[in-house]
Structure 1
Amino acid sequence: MQSPSPAGILVLVAVLAAATAFGWWRRRHDGRLRAVRKRPSDAAAPHRATLTVLGVRPGERTLVQFSAPVCAPCRAARRVLADVAARLDGVAVREVGVDEHLDAARELDVWRTPTVLVVDGAGRIVRRAAGVPDRDELIAALTAGAAR
C-alpha cells in the first residue's frame, strides 16, 4: 500500500475547510428573516396579483410559506407560523405547494423550501426567510410592521 501524497492531503484539507466554511455560513443564514430590497417599481406592490392568487387578502398581514411534500423542515416551519399566528391578532398564514404554484414561486424568487414571505397589510413583501424562521424574529417583524 502506498502512502498518501502531500498534494492529496492538501486537497483533502482544502475540501474539508471549504465544506466547513459553507456549513457554518449556511447555518448562520438559514431561517434568518431578511428585509426585501425595494426597487423603484415597488411603489405599487408589483407582486400583488400573484399574492392574491395565493390567497393573500388586502389589508391583512400574512405569512406565506412555500413548501413541498418531501420537505421535512417545512413541517417545523408550519408549526412556527401557526404558533406566531395564534399569538398575534390579524395575522393569517397561507401555505403554498411549490409544485402546484411553480410560476408564482419563480416570480417571487423562491428557490428552496421552506421559504416564508412576510406580507404587510398593503400587499408588499417586506421580509423573507429561506429555511425555518425564528419565532421571535417573526413576531418582532410583524409587530414592527403593525406599528407603521
Structure 2
Amino acid sequence: MTGVWVALVTIAVAVLIGLLWQARQGRIRNRATALPPPVRAWLAEAGPHDGPTLVMLSTPVCARCPQARAVLRELAGDTPSIRRLELDLDTHPALADELGVRSTPTTLAVSRSGHELFRVAGVPRRAELREALAPHL
C-alpha cells in the first residue's frame, strides 16, 4: 500500500511541476538591460533599423521553434517597423550563457539603442507580444 502512495505523490508532484513550467511558457518578462557586446555586434552586422527588433534564439533540434517563427513572421509582416532576426545558438553557443538563455525558443525584443526590452521563453502569445511592443513602435 505504501508503494501506491509513493507513486501517487510522485505523479502529483510531476504534474504540478509540469503545470508550473507550462504556465511560464510564452509569458513576457520585462528586462530593460543592455545586451552583451557580442550580441550588440551581431545586431550591428544586420544593419541599422528604426524600430524594435525581435531576435528569436533557436537551435536546429528545437521542436517549438517553427511555431514561434510563424508568430514572429506574422507580427513582423503586419508591422513594418518591427524587424525579425534569428540567432542559431548551435552556431553561437557562448551567447546562450551571456544572455542567460535556458531553453529554445527564446525571443528577445531589442530597442534601437541595443537594450533588451523584454523576453519570452517558449512560443510567444501573439496578442500579448503585440501589446508589449506597442509603446516601442
Q: Determine if the alignment matches structure 1 residue 115 to structure 2 residue 106.
A: yes
CA distance in 2, matches of 1:14, 1:23: 14
What is the match of residue 50 of structure 1? 39
Q: Is the 8 A contact 1:67 1:98 kept in 2?
A: yes
Q: Is the 8 A contact 1:85 1:92 kept in 2?
A: yes
Q: Which amino acid is 1:83 matched to?
A: E
Give CA-to-partner distance per residue, 1:90-112, whole Å, 9 cap, x none: 11111111100111121111111
Structure 1: gaps of 5 or more residues: 1-5
Q: Determine if the alignment matches structure 1 residue 83 to structure 2 residue 74.
A: yes
Q: How does 1:1-148 map to 2 (within 5 A)?
A: 6-36=1-31, 38=32, 42=33, 45-54=34-43, 55=46, 57=48, 59-146=50-137
TM-score, normalised with respect to structure 1: 0.83
CA distance in 2, matches of 1:121, 1:18: 43
- SS of the aligned residue for 2:104 comes to coil
CA distance in 1, matches of 2:76, 2:125: 13
C-alpha RMSD over aligned residues: 1.7
When the two structures are aligned, how many residues end up with a matched partner?
135
Structure 2: gaps of 5 or more residues: none
CA distance in 2, matches of 1:83, 1:134: 12
Q: Which amino acid is 1:25 matched to?
A: L
CA distance in 1, matches of 2:37, 2:113: 9
Runs of 4+ in structure 1 off by over 3 angstroms are: 54-60
Query: Structure 1 residue 52: deviation in Å?
Result: 2.9
Identity of aligned residues (%): 35
TM-score, normalised with respect to structure 2: 0.89
Q: Is the 8 A contact 1:73 1:132 kept in 2?
A: yes
Q: Given the superposition, is the C-alpha separation of residues 60 and 49 from structure 1 closer, same or farther in structure 2, using an over 3 Å criterion?
A: farther
> Which of the pair has more CA radius of gyration?
1
